Amino acid sequence: MRTPEDFLEGQILLIDKPLHWTSFQAVNKIKWLLKSQLGLKKIKIGHAGTLDPLATGLLIMCTGKFTKRIPELQGQVKEYTGTFHFGATTPSYDLETEIDATFPTEHISEELLLKTVSEQFLGEIDQKPPIFSAIKKDGKRLYEHARAGEEIEIASRKTTIHEFELTRIALPEVDFRIVCSKGTYIRSIAFDLGKAINSGAHLTALRRTKIGEYAVTLAETPEDFQHAFTQD
């Protein structure tokens, strides 16, 4: 069992974020457990890369003196798995918002998908973040502009897709595994891929499975983390 001093000196915690939790809620839960179960009055804790509420998977948290390592961990390559749904788009590019348009899918074949991915979605690409994201523009988060119904121009940014594998094709659903650089929006890949094959697509499931060498298979849920205290 780790001691209060261990957490103050610095620990890297691998947490499997549950569905519908914000990354902020997950950090607060772990912080509350450390304070209530170990009697710590003050403890620094932060995470190394946000996950959307509709995503699950690996959230790296750093405590105490290890919070200085957060920028280094944030820059690591990420791996995600999930599901795209073809034939419809949403304003948020995922299930946060309702479908706003539908598209034909009859022309979509496995060959077309694989060809488009290999020719247009590998290596360095230009990507526009979703309007429903936390990036700031003109002093406000993009999602605040979106919810206010404001039309704004979003600049594209460079990102790198190291690996992009389609692991199951059962249209209108396609499962994937993507290894990408920091700052990549998988929701935007869904939208852009749908557009590239003359259809539409949105993200219906997302799980972060790796950050650098850290894997979600070694992570524990907040419930597991709490159970470790109550067991002892």
In whole angstroms, give the CA distance from residue 11 to residue 191.
37
Tokens of 36: 């209530």
In whole angstroms, give the CA distance from residue 121 to residue 194.
12
SS3 content of the chain, % helix, strand, coil (to 5): 30, 35, 35
Q: Which of 16, 52, 94, 192 is catalytic?
A: 52
Report helix angle 110-120 to 186-196, nearest 10: 120
Residue 52: active-site member: yes
CA quadruple 95, 28, 148, 155: dihedral sign: negative
In contact, 190 and 216? CB cutoff 8 Å: no
SS3 annotation, 27-57:
HHHHHHHHHHHHCCCCCCEEECCCCCCCEEE
Give catalytic residue positions: 52
